[in-house]
Amino acid sequence: MSSIATIPAGTPVVVGQNVVPMPAVKPTDRVVPVVRTGELVVISEEAHEAARAAVDEAAAAVEALAGAPSSAVDAFFLGFAERLADDAVWAHVARANAEDVASAEARGRSTTRLVATPKMRADMVAGLRNWASTPSRVGEVIERRERQGYVIERRRAPLGVVAFVFEGRPNVFADGAGVVRNGNAAVMRIGADALGTALAIEAHALRPALLAAGLPEGAVRLVRHKAHGAGQALFTLPRVRLAVARGSGATVALLGAIAEQHGIPASLHGTGGAWMFVEQSADPEALESAIVNSLDRKVCNTLNVLLLERAARGSLGPVVERALRKVGAKVHVVAGSEGVVTGEEGFPEGSLGTEWEWERVPEVSFLLVDDLQEAARRFNGSSPRFVASILSTRPGAFEELYAAVDAPYVSNGFTRWVDGQWAYDRPELGLTNWERGRLLGRSGFLSGDDIVSVRDVFLDRTGKAAQRR
């Protein structure tokens, strides 16, 4: 068998339905053909080994966690929270974060999610303390069937190693650490923009909390390699039981394809941007509040497309205009919807699926529609099938939209409620949209509490072999 490095660079290679040129590789590189995306991914030996070492350490931690008392896990969460709340510890994190932010700004990178704000710090601390008070679900009996002489049960159990690839978000340690509650271990590859902050959190808060609680360091493990290949390698390793990816659409799609191609279930969120439909009956005060509070900052659940019922252009158009002006929004008015709000006119309706990535000036698309049915058709056809909201006082309107849209999150108010910390008081590991279809047996909200497996148990009470019926 010849080395892959013997294939000349530029040689045509069939990958799925595409023919792509063979990249230049070293003998130690790994080349992964990704059928769904039709590309060849090259992973260096260094990146692969960094990922493998982290996963091996995490797998060993899962075995150790099986015998750890619940009190030790509680102590870990509380110790992690106390260290983040300690100003002396946080000073190290703040310095590292300031350096990360300055570096990102110098390179023209987004810093919306990178800045470790006081609110982010408070949310991390609150989330960790919440995990300390949350009971483990390991051993929880889901179903029990009793027969003469025996019992059969279904019980929740740990899943194993959970691998995360996040963009530059310093708070991922607090979010991802939640998997330890149910005996799992986390391996994280964070974007290079936030790596310095992550290393500071690991050194001054995470690792000391694990050691003080008597838990293995591999229970929450950071992959220190900066190359994208380290994240890609994580999702090829057979000891990984769940792959969680968050970031931009193309990157997440590639990571998800790699994971699933290697038999690893994936929780993905790519394209964001919430949609809001406003009916003629909407309460003006509630409408203005919903728009303003859906555009406070740019995250995935921020209002992205605003649909106004055509019959409401005279009555509610001024309310929409006032709300958008209040937040200083840049509005992209779809061709045919002019004359209602101030904005850049002539935006092609075929581009309604565009997610606006803004830093300080909110951006939103605006379109007039005839009715709820058209709004639902537009959502199902052009959106990332993520968040759908309706502003209406008409009886039955919400249930009508709920039945019509193919979305995991539906509301009758502001869109930013789609946040695990805000909605369920649990740090979220991911928000999954339905671009690639509905999920089996779980919500689009993913938290550490959701990551369990199920084991079946047969208990013979007689000591004799039961007879099959």
pLDDT in tens, 97-156: 999 999 988 998 888 778 899 999 998 999 899 999 989 999 999 999 998 889 999 999
pLDDT at 3 over 80: no
**Contact predicate 307/277, CB 8 Å:** yes
Of the chain, the percentage scoring pLDDT greater than 70 comes to 98
Residue 464: per-residue pLDDT: 66
**Total-model pTM:** 0.86
**pLDDT of 466 higher than 90:** no
pLDDT at 1 over 60: no
Burial letters 394-420, b for 16+ CB under 10 A, else e: eeebbebbeebbebbbbbbbbbbbbbb
Identity of the residue numbered 447 = S
Q: pLDDT tens-digit profile of 44-58?
A: 999 999 999 999 999
- As a whole number of angstroms, the distance between CA 432 and CA 385 comes to 10
Taking residues 426-441, what's their average pLDDT? 84
Please report where in the chains the tokens 């808060």 appear, as a residue: 205
pLDDT tens digits along 384-401: 999 999 999 999 999 999
pLDDT for 450 equals 87
Rounded-to-integer distance, Cα 425 and Cα 423, Å: 6
Query: Looking at residue 283, what is its pLDDT?
Result: 98
Q: Report which of residues 192 and 417 the model is more confident about.
A: 417
Question: Is residue 456 within a helix (H) or strand (E), and if so which, with residue range?
Answer: strand 453-460
Per-residue pLDDT reduced to its tens digit, 318-368: 999 999 999 999 999 999 999 999 999 999 989 999 999 898 899 999 999
Higher pLDDT, 448 or 127: 127
Given a cut of 90, whether residue 203 has pLDDT beyond it is yes
Q: What percent of the chain has pLDDT over 90?
A: 71
Render pLDDT for 209-234 as a digit per residue (tens, 0 to 9): 999 999 999 999 999 888 889 999 99
- The answer on pLDDT for 64 being more than 80 is yes
Which residues in 111-246 belong to E strands, given as ranges?
Answer: 141-147, 150-157, 161-166, 185-190, 220-222, 240-246
pLDDT tens-digit series, residues 291-321: 999 999 998 999 999 999 999 999 999 999 9
**8-12, 395-399, 400-404 — which is least confidently predicted?**
8-12
